[in-house]
Amino acid sequence: MKKWLCLFIFMSVLLITACSNSSDGDKNRWEEIEEAGEIVVGTSGTLIAASYFDGEEETEDQLTGYDVEVMREIAKRLDLDVKFEIMGIDSMLPAINSGRIDVAANDIEATDKRREEFNFSEPYKYSYTTMVVRKEDNSGINSLEDLEGKKYGGGATTIFGQIAEHFGAEIITYGNAPNEAYLRDVHNGRTDVIINDYYLSKFGVEAFPEFDIHLHPDLKIHPTEQAVVIPKDEDELTEKINEVLAEMREDGTLSELAKKFYIEDASEKPEGDIQEIEGLDL
């Protein structure tokens, strides 16, 4: 009798433990974040105006930029602390899938292909793509077709890298290098072109007036929308972030932050004709 009683108690403990574990496992990412009181955000810290260190020390209190301050405001309005994990763009999306970070905010474009693997917030930035080239001859690039054989400096897995590869450029990767490294290499001829966001490129060029580089005067391509990257199917977390972004757009906070870091209002769609690129699997 005692043997059966012990077995019953043992099985009951297993059942309770299993139910408890199942309950914990059923928590979605928002519930986990809310319980922890903190959201972990992946960002690079190397993109002038978007995510960068404003000082010599690479400490979190010196980390700033449009994307960083948007995420700080989102966390504040959700009554959360925010922790930033510094990493290269090529590591950022895998870090979301592995659970190392909760979301990513690093001027990341929301594309159809990426939406198959991740949720995205509503856009907090609208822009387009431009090129940084040498002043003297535009690095020999007068059209997209002229990218063939040229050396592009940038992340291999970015949309910009896909554009470069699509038109036959050689990809030169840097890891999580600062803007200066990319820009200096165009200046000294190690590479020929940087393909990147208009706002980031403009501020990068202006930050290093000693370099013989400029924005391509004729090529405005590939309109973009940047958003917070969120784990796939984490719809409650997506909804919470979208609610705050809507508030920030309505009360002018997005516009205020955009003008602070970009001078122009990057929270609104740019005007003018921007060339679409056909044949890209984005």
Domain at 206, CATH number: 3.40.190.10
Determine, yes or no, domain membership for 207: yes
CA distance 128 to 121: 19
170-172 vs 118-120, strand pairing mode: unpaired
Residue 115 has pLDDT above 50, yes or no: yes
| pLDDT tens for each residue of 76-103 | 999 999 999 999 888 999 999 999 999 9
Determine, yes or no, domain membership for 272: no
The domain in which residue 52 lies consists of 36-124+227-262
Q: What is the pLDDT of residue 155?
A: 80
Quick one: pLDDT band at residue 279, thresholds 50, 70, 90? confident
Q: Please indicate, yes or no, whether residues 76 and 141 belong to a single structural domain of this protein.
A: no
Number of domains in the chain: 2
Burial label, 264 (beta-carbon count in 10 A; 0-12, 13-18, 19+): middle
Residue 174 has pLDDT above 90, yes or no: no
Q: Please indicate, yes or no, whether residues 81 and 40 belong to a single structural domain of this protein.
A: yes
What is the token pair recorded at 67?
């994307």
Residue 175 has pLDDT above 80, yes or no: no
Residue 271 has pLDDT above 60, yes or no: yes
Determine, yes or no, domain membership for 13: no
Alpha-helical regions (H) of 2-132: 2-25, 29-36, 66-77, 89-98, 112-115
- 24-39: average pLDDT: 90
Q: Please indicate, yes or no, whether residues 55 and 166 belong to a single structural domain of this protein.
A: no
Burial label, 41 (beta-carbon count in 10 A; 0-12, 13-18, 19+): buried
Residue 59 contacts residue 46 (beta carbons within 8 Å): no
- 51-70: average pLDDT: 92
Q: Please indicate, yes or no, whether residues 66 and 200 belong to a single structural domain of this protein.
A: no
Q: Please indicate, yes or no, whether residues 80 and 149 belong to a single structural domain of this protein.
A: no
Quick one: pLDDT band at residue 195, thresholds 50, 70, 90? very high
Residue 101 contacts residue 38 (beta carbons within 8 Å): no
Q: Please indicate, yes or no, whether residues 46 and 94 belong to a single structural domain of this protein.
A: yes
Q: Please indicate, yes or no, whether residues 152 and 182 belong to a single structural domain of this protein.
A: yes
Determine, yes or no, domain membership for 161: yes
Query: How much is the pTM?
Result: 0.79
| pLDDT tens for each residue of 43-52 | 999 988 999 9
Determine, yes or no, domain membership for 159: yes
Q: Please indicate, yes or no, whether residues 131 and 213 belong to a single structural domain of this protein.
A: yes
Q: What is the pLDDT of residue 185?
A: 97
Q: Please indicate, yes or no, whether residues 213 and 86 belong to a single structural domain of this protein.
A: no
Window from 17-26, 100-109, 114-123 with minimum mean pLDDT: 17-26
- 26-39: average pLDDT: 96
Q: Please indicate, yes or no, whether residues 183 and 234 belong to a single structural domain of this protein.
A: no
Q: Please indicate, yes or no, whether residues 67 and 105 belong to a single structural domain of this protein.
A: yes
- 205-221: average pLDDT: 95
Strand pairing partners for 153? 172
Determine, yes or no, domain membership for 275: no
Q: What is the pLDDT of residue 203?
A: 85
Q: Please indicate, yes or no, whether residues 232 and 112 belong to a single structural domain of this protein.
A: yes
Determine, yes or no, domain membership for 24: no
Determine, yes or no, domain membership for 29: no
CA distance 164 to 148: 8
Q: What is the pLDDT of residue 16?
A: 42
Residue 7 has pLDDT above 70, yes or no: no
81-86 vs 125-134, strand pairing mode: unpaired
Q: What is the pLDDT of residue 103?
A: 98
